[in-house]
Chain A
Amino acid sequence: MFESLSNKFAGAFSALRNKGRLKSGDLSDIANEIKLALLDSDVAISVAEAFVKQIEDRSLAVLDDVNKSTNPSQAIFNIVNEELTAILGGSARRIRLAKNPPTVILLTGLQGAGKTSLAGKLAKWLKDQGNTPILIASDLQRPNAVTQLQVVGESVGVPVFAPEPGNGVGDPIRVAKDGIKFAKDKLHNIVIVDTAGRLGIDQELMQQARDIRDAVNPDEVLYVVDAMVGQDAVRTAQAFLDGVGFDAVVLTKLDGDARGGAALSITQITGKPIMFAATGEKVSDFDLFYPDRLASRILGLGDIQTLAETAKSAMDAETTAKFEKKFIEGADFTLDDFLSQLEAMKKMGSMTKLLGMIPGANSGAIKKQLEQFDDNELIKTQSIVQSMTPIERNDPKVLNGSRRARIAKGSGRAVSDVNSLVDRFQAAQKMMRQMRTGKGGMQMPPGMQMPPGMAAPAISKPVQPPKKKSRSGNPAKRALES
C-alpha cells in the first residue's frame, strides 16, 4: 500500500534536501505537495488539510532550530513522521480482555469489507495465543454467510455457534444472545460475533446492530474497513460510530496497492485506533496494527521491525542453533542447509511482500525489480535442490555434466537453471568461508544482495551471462574457477 504516498514524500523531500536554509515559503510549498499526495491516497480532504496545517505550524514554530540543525530537511521529515504516527493512533493498543470471561468481540462494517474472513483470522490469532475462542454466526442476511463462517471456523480449528441457517431466516439478535450463553457454558474465554454487512445510512439495520450490541454487551466493537475505500470512509465510519459505536478499527486487504489513506482519515475523525491489519488471502495473514511502523512505511523508511519478527517466527530455534553451530565449527554450508533456509523463507510468506519492507524498497528502481520478482523462483530453486542426491547436496563439486542433466530432468528445469543455482550457491559458500576467516569482511559478491538463490532474474542478470560463457565442462576446473 502507501507506495505512492512514500514516493511523493520522497520526491518532495529530495527537493527540500537540496536547499540549505529553509524559508517559510519552502514550507508552504512542501505542505501543498504533501496535501496533494494525501488526497491522491484517499485521505479525506478535511483530514489532509488539517494535517498539513499542523505540519506547517509546527515547522514554522521551530524553523530557527531547524535551520541551526545540521540537516534541516531531516528535521522537517521527523516532524512529518511524528505527526503521521500520531494520527495513525500513537501507539498500538491490545485487545481488552474482560475481567469475567468470556471477552466478547463484535464485528461490524459495510458489506464486503471482509468481516467473515477476518473473523476466522482473528479467531486463529487468538487461539494461537492460547485462548479458546468461539465464533457466532449472526450474519443471517447474506446467502450462505453462515456456511462460510462454518468453513472458515473449521479451517482454523475454532468452533462455530450457528443455530440458524441464515439466508434471511432467523433472528441475529437471538443467535448472538444464545451464543454468549453457549460460550459461557462451554467455558470459551473469547467470543467473536460476526454480523451482516450494512450501510451507514440504513437506519433499520443500524438499529439491528445496536440491538445485537446491547444483547451481547461487547468488550470490544471492531469496525472492519477495506483499505481500498475512498473519500466515503469518513462518512461511513462516522455513521457506524454514531449508529453502533466502535472501539477500534481493523483494516483489511492491506496487501493490495491501495494507498490506504482511509486509515489516516478514520483514526483522525473518529479518534479510534487501528488495532489489527489483514494482509492476505491466508488465515495467517493477520497481525496487530503498528502505527509507527506504518508511518515509517509511508515515509519510505521501510518496516524493518515487521521483517525481523517475520524472519524470527519462520526460523525455528532449533534450525537457527544448528546453523550457528556449523558456522562456529567451521563446517561448510551445504545445499541441505540452503534448502532448509528456503523452506523457512517460504514460511515467511510472499517474498515480494517481505522485500517491500526493506528501507528504500519503495523507491523507483528497486520497486520495479520487486514488481518483477517472481515468488515461483523459490519453488523452482527448491525443486532443483530436492532433485539432488545427499552426496550432491553435501558436496556440489561432484556435479558433473550428466548429474546436472539428471537433476534438470528430475526437477523439470533447464540445465542452465541448475548451473546458475550451483554457481550462485558456490559463491555464497565462498562468502561464508571468507566471513568466518575474517577475510573479505561482510562484502557481498555482486548479484548476491539477496540470500543465495533468491536473486530475482532482473537483479542477477548483469553478472550471469559472462560467467556462463567462461564455464568449463570439467567439474574440477569449474570448482577452481568459482
Chain B
Amino acid sequence: MGLFSRLIAKVKGESGSQISASDWQELERALIESDLGVKGVSEIIELAKKERGEDIESSLTSALSSWLSTNSRQLASNSDRLTTVMVVGVNGTGKTTSTAKLASLLNNDGAKVVLAAADTFRAAATEQLQTWGARLNLEVVAGPQNGDPASVAFNGAAAAKESNASYLIVDTAGRLHTKSDLMDELGKVRRVIEKLTPVDEVLLVVDATTGQNGINQAKIFAESVSVTGLILTKLDGSAKGGIALAIERETKIPIKFIGTGEGAGDFAAFDATTYLQGLFQA
C-alpha cells in the first residue's frame, strides 16, 4: 500500500475539519507525487478543506473533479462520411501502438478502419504499423522512409474514401513541441488531408510518466493542430498520469482513451471515476 492509500485509510471517515495540519501536508506531498503540479495541488488542498464531503476521500475527489474538462469524451463519428483521426505527440509516448489499439477497438465495434503510416521519420515506424495492420487485418497505407508524411496521409485519405471506410487513423512521427519546423510539418499534414476530407479528431498521446512539461506539450500541439482529445498511455506502470488531469484543467482538452499495455486490447475509453481513484493509489 502506498503512502497515499495509507493516509487515506488513516483519515478515512474524517471530514476536512478533523484532519491535522501535518496530515494535510502529507496529502499535499502525495498529490504532488502524482504530477498534478505544485501550484495546482495547493489549490486542490484548499478546495478540499472547504468541501463538506462525507470524508476526506470524497472531498479530494470532488475537488479534483472540478479540474475535469466538460468537453465531450466521445470519439467523433460520422454516419455519412469518413471520420479522420490524427494521432500526434512527442517521441516515445506510444503513438504507433495507440494508433493500432484504437483501430482494433473501432474494428471490434464493426467499423471499417484504414491506417496511414505517416511517421516516415523514425526507422521502421512504418513496418511497426504494418505489423499491427497484419495482426488486425487492416489496410495500411505507407510511403517511403523519409518521404513526405503529408503525401502518405493524403494517400491514406484517398484510399479510405475509395474503400468506403468509416475511419482513417493517421499515425504521425514523434516530435518535440519545441521544434517549430516539425510542428509546421504537422500542420501541413493536417491541411493536406483536409484537401480531401475533414480531420475530425486530433488525439495527443501523453505518457503517464510525463512531468510538468506535459502542459507545454499540450498547449503547443493544440496551437499547431487543434488537439481534440488526449490518449493517456502506460497507465499500467507505477505512474498514475496526474499530468493528464493538469492538462485538462489547463487546456480543457479531455482525456478520451487510456492505454494500459502492449496488447491490442489494452485500451479503453477514459473513465473519470477509475482514473481519480487511481491517483489516490500512488
Contacts and interface: CB of A to CB of B under 8 A. Distances in A.
B69 interface: no
Contacts of A152: 123
B93 A257 contact: no
A183 to B, nearest CB: 22
7 smallest CB-CB distances across A and B, nearest first, come from A230-B211, A112-B92, A42-B211, A151-B123, A232-B239, A148-B124, A147-B124
Interface of B: 29, 32-35, 37-39, 90-94, 121-125, 127-128, 130-132, 145, 176-179, 181, 207-214, 216-217, 234, 236-239, 242-243, 262
A41 interface: yes
15 contacts: A112-B92, A112-B234, A114-B92, A150-B124, A152-B123, A201-B237, A226-B209, A228-B211, A228-B213, A230-B239, A253-B176, A255-B176, A257-B178, A259-B213, A376-B181
B94 A112 contact: yes
Contact of B94 (A111, A233, A376): A111
A151 B213 contact: no
Given A152-B123, A257-B177, A258-B211, 15 more contacts: A40-B37, A110-B237, A113-B92, A143-B132, A145-B128, A147-B124, A167-B131, A199-B234, A199-B237, A200-B237, A201-B237, A226-B92, A228-B214, A231-B34, A231-B35
A235 B207 contact: no
- Chain B interface secondary structure, helix, strand, loop or mixed? loop
Contact of B91 (A39, A112, A150, A229): A112
Contact of A232 (B125, B178, B209): B209
B177 A40 contact: no
Interface in A336-380: 375-376
Contact of A199 (B34, B38, B92, B238): B238
Contact of A147 (B34, B91, B127, B212): B127
A412 interface: no
Contact of A45 (B29, B37, B262): B29
B190 to A, nearest CB: 21
B246 to A, nearest CB: 10
A141 B35 CA distance: 29
Contacts of A236: 209, 237-239
B123 A148 contact: yes
A111 B93 CA distance: 8
Nearest to B126: A144
A45 B91 contact: no
A256 B121 CA distance: 18
Interface in A131-165: 141-145, 147-152, 155
Chain A CB within 10 Å — which of B37, B93, B122, B207 has the most?
A: B207
A384 interface: no
B212 A40 contact: yes
B131 A144 contact: yes
Contact of B128 (A36, A142, A228, A256): A142
A203 B269 CA distance: 27
Contacts of B211: 42, 228-231, 233, 258-259, 261-262
A92 interface: no
Contacts of A226: 92, 207, 209
A257 B38 contact: no
